[in-house]
Amino acid sequence: MKTFDYDFNGRTFHLAMNANALFDTYDKFGDKRSIAELPKGTGKKSFDATCWMLAKFAEQGELVRRYDGFKPGTIVTESYFRLHMKPLDVPVAKKALEQAILLGFAREEDTEEKDPYLAEYQKKTETD
């Protein structure tokens, strides 16, 4: 699972938009709109969504990293972002969420090298 690194307040958060984050977001905000639309805008609702989504995506990113064997880091709450975010931090946070969402919905490419000779041989022997 790919994560998007978001630097905020002297810390790096590894944002992951996995299935758990997606369905928790649907439970919180409903599934009538794209989750990419939730943090957009300039009002209180978009700020609320931004802080909640940052906390959820950071939580999932941290859990993925732990599962992958990395040293456990801190999991912060929505309140952390609400209390520490300055007005000029908000657009950067929204962009980070956008990138995490794009990574979450992107297909991971197969990094295994293909042997063209083996593929040709397998084609020939499939009908045998």
Q: How confident is the model at residue 1 (pLDDT cuts 50, 70, 90)?
A: confident
Please state the domain extents for the chain.
4-126
Task: Say what angle helices 19-29 and 44-67 make with each other, to 10 degrees.
Answer: 150
Q: Which residue has the higher pLDDT, 128 or 99?
A: 99
- Taking the C-alpha atoms of residue 50 and residue 70, their distance in angstroms, rounded to an integer, is 26
Token representation of residue 77: 């709450």
Mean predicted lDDT score pLDDT of the chain = 91
Over the stretch 74-113, which tens digit does the pLDDT of each residue have? Answer: 999 999 999 999 999 999 999 999 999 999 999 876 556 6
User: For residue 123, what pLDDT is reported?
Assistant: 72
Question: At residue 121, does pLDDT exceed 90?
Answer: no
Model-wide pTM > 0.85? no
Average confidence (pLDDT) over 40-52: 96
Can you tell me the mean pLDDT for 30-51? 95
CA distance 3 to 62: 9
